[in-house]
Amino acid sequence: MTVRRARGILPGFGLSLGTSVLYLTLLVLVPLAGVALRGATARWEDIWHASTSARALASFRLSFFASVAAGAGNAVAGLLIAWVLVRYRFAGRSVLDALVDVPFALPTAVAGLALTAVYSADGWLGRWLAPLGIEVAYTPIGVWLAMTFVGLPFVVRTVQPVLAGIDAHLEEAAAVLGAGRLQAFGRVIFPTVLPAVLTGFTLAVARALGEYGSIVFISGNLPLRTEIAPLLIVARLEQYDYAGATALALVLLLASFALLFATNVLQRWSVRRLGPSPG
Amino acid sequence: MPFGESILIAPQIRQPGVTEPAPVRWLLVSAAAVLLGLFVAVPLGAVFATALRGGLGRYLEAILHPDARSAIGLTLLTAAIVVPVNALFGIAAAWAIANFRFRGKRLLITLIDLPFSVSPVIAGLALVLVFGRQGWLGDWLDARQVRIVFAVPGVVLATAFVTVPYVAREVLAVLEAQGSDEEAAALTLGASAWQILARVTLPKIRWGLLYGIALCNARAMGEFGAVSVVSGHVRGETITLPLHAQILYDQYDAVGAFAVASLLALLALFTLVTKKYVERRSRPV
């Protein structure tokens, strides 16, 4: 009885935990273990070869740099949008707030089609960019654009509650002590929201790194130029090159887990700095 | 996951008495509006504009085509299986995590979030490596003439994989914010486990549950990467709505592709309306 007491008093522990763990194991863990096992049973040289070919390296380079650039874009835009949504009351505020969620709710393939239509050379916005020499569709810029689109909500939604939770007295004290608004932002507000911005940044980078649906349409999928790593995995699979696909997947998984770990560390830092979030 | 925590429990905190000069405020609001307009609103509008470019007749023709209807059917079937299963899982997992102390709780939460961190393409690959012809279970399944990969079960499994976290996250956020005092009270009054669940917990989590289901459903109907890897693109059989849109687009039928895509865009708008509704209903009084 003492063990049970320590767990909690409500019934249903065994049933709820048992079914959850069983379901996750069968649906998520076993297939992912399949990937790891496939990698473990492959020859080391084959994995090395498959993941360091010129085409693979080019795809990793593009995936990595574009997703970090997209995360950086999201950090800046996300902080601005979160600030505006939390601090100001204006007409159309709830419309802007709803637009932030569109990338979460819109299927990625639809996002890809939509961005391609708008930013191709004859699209609504692409036709204004083309004379400036900026080509978006079928270039690395298009990859970056699609990644920025899918990652947009992450920074906004992590920063928003932290920004809303900043004690109003701190800023008023800064003002009383003679700080201008910029100084107050730089010395009081920014240090407080920085962990949240970084958390949102890593979430956005992780999402961008694995993103597929929205990018295939706008990138043009040219090997060595606009081919992202997930796309190369699909290409390998279509050639029934399972070993090659697995090798690339392992590299990508490793990067995802590193980012997941970084997110956890950042969230802990954030909690330490601010105390438990007000939400 | 920022999506889960911020929505239902929005903090109501006093705004500071100092703010920026009006022109600065105006400039910042405009910048945010322009960003969201160019990146989000314009592309969303383009979906509907392109879909209707050939007129209403052409639009209806595209979405009533037999291939489109079969894609709609598969998409609905997949969601009808995946969403209830993941909703039940979400409630069970959230119940276990919120109400009990046990070893490995952090690990369990990380596991639930794992599908968010894994590329959908890798989720598809994983299913191929386990259930495909050359996969670990390939021979065993072949001998029993069961096809999973390149067939409907594969589409369902891939969709279930990527939508695992949604309901669990939303329900857990509500349960953790509200505590389990009411459940404990019901227990002392002699309620059985199922009575507590039906009369106390479900009413308590209903808005979080509804929102989680809406998100799970949107993702289930819209999933592209994982499904495209395991589908095998068998015409009339394993093609979901997003895959159908891609096929039309690759055949240079832009109007048809966008007509199909517009159905999914409507689904997204419906999801957002659900969110607004849930936010309004669950706001603390």
Using an 8 Å CB-CB cutoff, list chain A residues near B122.
35, 210, 230, 233, 249, 252-253
Q: With an 8 Å Cβ cutoff, is B20 touching chain A? A: yes
Among candidate residues B129, B285, B74, the one with its CA nearest the CA of residue A244: B129
Please answer yes or no on whether B117 and A206 come within 8 Å at the CB atom.
Answer: yes
Task: Show the low-confidence residues of chain B (pLDDT under 50).
Answer: 1-9, 11, 285
> Is B177 within 8 Å of B9 (Cβ atoms)?
yes
Contacts 24+ apart (CB under 8 A), B32-37: B32/A80, B32/A81, B32/A84, B32/A85, B32/A96, B33/A92, B33/A96, B35/A77, B35/A80, B35/A81, B36/A81, B36/A96, B36/A99, B36/A100, B37/A99
> Is B262 within 8 Å of B51 (Cβ atoms)?
yes
The CA distance from A139 to A225, in Å, is: 8
pLDDT for A42:
84
Q: Domain residues of chain A, as ranges?
A: 10-41, 44-274
Q: Domain residues of chain B, as ranges?
A: 21-51, 55-282
The CA distance from B204 to B174, in Å, is: 8
pLDDT for B285:
47
**End-to-end CA distance of chain B, in Å?**
26
Q: How many CB atoms lie within 10 A of CB B202?
A: 13
Please answer yes or no on whether A10 and B119 come within 8 Å at the CB atom.
Answer: no
Residue type, A199: T
Please answer yes or no on whether A30 and B47 come within 8 Å at the CB atom.
Answer: no
Q: With an 8 Å Cβ cutoff, is B261 touching chain A? A: yes
pLDDT for B14:
66
Digit-by-digit pLDDT tens for chain A (279 residues) are 444 446 888 999 999 999 999 999 999 999 999 999 988 888 888 889 889 999 999 999 999 999 999 999 999 999 999 999 999 999 999 999 999 999 999 999 999 999 999 999 889 999 999 899 899 999 999 999 999 999 999 999 999 999 988 888 888 888 889 888 888 898 889 998 999 999 999 999 999 999 999 999 999 888 999 999 999 999 999 999 999 999 999 999 999 999 988 988 888 887 777 665 443
Burial class (CB in 10 A: 0-12, 13-18, 19+), B269: middle
pLDDT for A278:
45
* Highest CATH level, class, for A44-274: mainly alpha
Tell me if residue B252 falls in helix, strand or coil: coil
Q: How many CB atoms lie within 10 A of CB B77?
A: 14
Q: With an 8 Å Cβ cutoff, is B145 touching chain A? A: no
Q: How many helices (H) and strands (E) does chain A have?
A: 15, 0
ipTM over 0.85: yes
Please answer yes or no on whether B265 and A110 come within 8 Å at the CB atom.
Answer: yes
Distance from CA of A167 to the nearest CA of B (A): 8
Contact residues, A window 227-266, toward B, CB-based 8 Å cutoff: 230-231, 233-234, 237, 240, 242, 245-246, 249, 252-253, 256-257, 259-260, 264
Q: With an 8 Å Cβ cutoff, is B27 touching chain A? A: no
Q: With an 8 Å Cβ cutoff, is B196 touching chain A? A: yes
Q: How many CB atoms lie within 10 A of CB A90?
A: 14
How distant, in Å, are the alpha carbons of A22, B47, B111 from that of A15? 10, 46, 18
CATH number of B55-282: 1.10.3720.10
Query: What pTM value is reported for the model?
Result: 0.91
Among candidate residues A62, A221, A255, A60, the one with its CA nearest the CA of residue B119: A255
Contact residues, A window 150-209, toward B, CB-based 8 Å cutoff: 152-154, 156-158, 160-161, 164-166, 168-172, 175, 181, 184, 199-200, 203, 206-207, 209
The DSSP letter of residue A134 is -
Q: With an 8 Å Cβ cutoff, is B191 touching chain A? A: no
**Residue that is written with structure tokens 């459940």 in the block:** B183
Please answer yes or no on whether B183 and A113 come within 8 Å at the CB atom.
Answer: no
Contact residues, A window 56-85, toward B, CB-based 8 Å cutoff: 77, 80-81, 83-85
Tell me if residue B100 falls in helix, strand or coil: coil
Using an 8 Å CB-CB cutoff, list chain A residues near B123.
31
pLDDT for A274:
67
pLDDT for A6:
65
The CA distance from A273 to A193, in Å, is: 10
* Cβ within 8 Å of residue A129, ≥6 positions away: A119, A135, A136
pLDDT for A64:
95
Q: With an 8 Å Cβ cutoff, is B265 touching chain A? A: yes
